[in-house]
Amino acid sequence: MATPDSAEEKPRENPVLWVARPMATAARQFAKSLFRPSTIIYPYERLEDPKFRDRVEVASGKPFGVGRVWDNYRGVHSLNIATCISCNLCAFSCPDICIDMVTVAGGDPKHPKKCPQIDYGKCSYCGFCSDACPEGCLTMTTRYELSTPKRSEMIYSPEKLNAVFHSKLPMNPIRLARPDNEDSILLDPPLCIGCNACARDCPTGCITMLDIPKPEAKPGEKLPRRIWKEPVVNDSDCVRCGTCISVCPKECLFWGTRK
Amino acid sequence: MSTVTLYSVSYDIASLILHILGFIIPPANAALTNGNVVTGLAVLVFGVILLAASMLNTILLIWWERKLLGRIMDRRGAMHVGYAGLLQNFADGFKLFRKTTVQPREADALGFFSGPTAYLVTSFLLFGILPISSGWNSGILPLSLLLALAIFSFAPLFIFVSAWSSNNKYSLMGGMRSAAQMIAYEVPLLLAVVAVVIVAGSFDLTTIVYEQQNYWFWGPLFVALIVFVAGMLAEMERIPFDLPEAEAELVEGWNTEYGGMLFAFFMLADYLRALVGSILVVLLFLGGWTMPSWVPGALTTFPLAGIFWFMAKTYIVFGVFVWVRASLPRVRTDQLLRVGWNRLLPLSLLAVFLAATLVTVKCVWPFGCLPSMGT
């Protein structure tokens, strides 16, 4: 008479097999890995070495160039200082707040050129900065070896990132599936004082200050103290960095759809 | 007397040292070259040589286990320090040597410190008994096998002492299991040895080896070999019988509270006992330092050939222990006791019966005849 417990019980097999079967498995594995275990001895060998090509391509099914990792790998950034417009978008978009805009040589002394400096101790390699870069000068490369004995060496200055750019590593121009910002910079005219801060700080120079007619003062009315100019944004040149909005002292610029 | 034994070598070294000393300090010359002094120093040198040899072999054995286990697990073992990681264990030992020994506040200091020391010392003691080659220490001990097994069985006592005085429940459980395991496995182990002794007709390990000149005992006494290896695995507390230090259940078993050099003592003694276990298997079943007659003479007559073949066999036997460790999971306590009493005990009795039959019929196909009885 079968109770539920005994019904589920498997038929007893020969106890010798309990010993023999695992030992055969171990012996098979030993014979397989006697001369070449699966281990890739990392500092001396790398997964992207040509001799591991078969193993990696079979495992991933992805294209895998000889001597390099996957093309869409997100490693150390490369920065082209020459094309950087100091728009600050990379630092805005960084979720880890690991990007600082620091002054680099070769800028105008009044408005020093600022380029991103990245702290790889904090970076999560999300690629948002590279995605946000309007000029395509901040991209990610396939370099992944960053270990260093000093914490301070984890901070890569713009010059160091520029050197990565010149080392001709494969670049990964990241375009994450995020819609571009289609909004424009709009102006709230009564608030503007014509101070020129937005035009001064615009990285692309798409803001020009145009003269506006000074209204006639009605009797008893006091005209606001301001410069009689107003910013005009050229939408085709604008990279939507928002620098003008953040520098505006009167908060008269805002995002909106142009009519 | 032309045979070079280990004792004669150490006697020569001792008398050389003492003569040089006597030359340097002339007034003490007569006292230093006294026969008793030379003998005393010779015993000391004998011990130092054995200590160095067993230490070296133990450390090599750990390396061998790490490499072999690595290959079975599809990886490489230690490989950075020294050639192929040969010096890794020296580095590990040096690290342990430098560490502080922490004694738990409630621990019993006497047992806590004397347990590991006695465990290590008794394990070293075994090396004075085991003959490694024909001239090693032949004829010194007519009951060397019995003495070796007696010293081998000391260990659970010291494990229990150190486990008890650690004042830790996991240590105590480990010690209890060790004692239970000893009782379950000592009987079949000794009965398997009895089978060998019946066939060889002697308790002297050197004689047992010379009795295997026609055939090694593992063939006709295969049952005894199986029982002996299983019992040895339990005695050495290696996987699958490593219940006393089951790290998944008891933190680290009976050496939970030990760290630094005391832990190194335990570790060293464990591998010393593994080495002794492998040596005993080679001595009792695999013909010791002798090789079968079909092996070309050039392979068996070069200097120290006996020691070479002996150690080669020892390392292969230990390789089998490692293979078992890599394959089998740890058994439960009830399974362990059931295997010990229900399976191995009848098997060992069968081995004794087979040995008695072998002695009675004298010659058995395909192995041949026993040397002392066939002629």
Facing residue for A29 by CB, picked from B74, B79, B324: B74
**In B, what residues contact A, Cβ < 8 A?**
68, 70-76, 79, 323-324, 326-328
* Contact yes or no for A22 and B327 at CB 8 A: yes
**pLDDT of A172 higher than 80:** no
Facing residue for A38 by CB, picked from B72, B74, B79: B74
Q: Identify whether A110 is part of a domain.
A: yes
Average pLDDT on B236-240 reads 82
CB-based contact B257:B171 (threshold 8 Å): yes
Q: What is the pLDDT of residues B267-296, one digit of tens each?
A: 888 898 889 889 999 988 888 888 777 777
Q: Identify whether A248 is part of a domain.
A: yes
The helix or strand, by DSSP H or E, that contains position B245, with its residue range, turns out to be: none
Facing residue for B71 by CB, picked from A22, A25, A33: A33
CB-based contact B209:B138 (threshold 8 Å): no
Q: Identify whether A33 is part of a domain.
A: no
Q: Identify whether A122 is part of a domain.
A: yes
For β-strands A184-187 and A253-256, DSSP reports them as: antiparallel
* Contact yes or no for B323 and A23 at CB 8 A: yes
User: What is the structure's pLDDT at B3?
Assistant: 66
* Contact yes or no for B70 and A19 at CB 8 A: no
**In A, what residues contact B, Cβ < 8 A?**
19, 22-23, 25-27, 29-30, 32-34, 37-39, 41
Q: What is the pLDDT of residues A48-104, one digit of tens each?
A: 777 777 776 655 555 555 455 666 778 888 888 888 888 888 888 889 999 999 988
What is the CATH classification number for the domain harbouring A155?
Answer: 3.30.70.3270
Q: Identify whether A196 is part of a domain.
A: yes
Residue to mutate among B66, B67, B71, with most A CBs inside 10 A, is B71
- The number of folded domains in chain A is 2
**pLDDT of A1 higher than 50:** no
pTM tops 0.95, yes or no: no
Tell me whether residue A205 is exposed, middle or buried, using C-beta atoms within 10 angstroms of its C-beta: 0 to 12, 13 to 18, 19 or more: exposed
CB-based contact B159:B115 (threshold 8 Å): yes
Q: A86 and A153 share a domain?
A: yes
Residue type for position B131 = P
Range(s) of the domain holding residue A191 = 184-215+223-256
User: What is the structure's pLDDT at B81?
Assistant: 85
List the structure tokens of B154.
């000391």
Q: Identify whether A61 is part of a domain.
A: no
**Residue pointed to by tokens 């050129």:** A113
- Phi and psi, residue B310, nearest 5°: -60, -50
Facing residue for A39 by CB, picked from B75, B324, B328: B75
CA distance B311 to B307: 6
Q: A142 and A87 share a domain?
A: yes
Q: A153 and A195 share a domain?
A: no
Q: A129 and A159 share a domain?
A: yes
Residue to mutate among A29, A40, A41, with most B CBs inside 10 A, is A29
ipTM: 0.74
Q: What is the pLDDT of residues A10-36, one digit of tens each?
A: 667 777 788 888 899 999 988 888 888
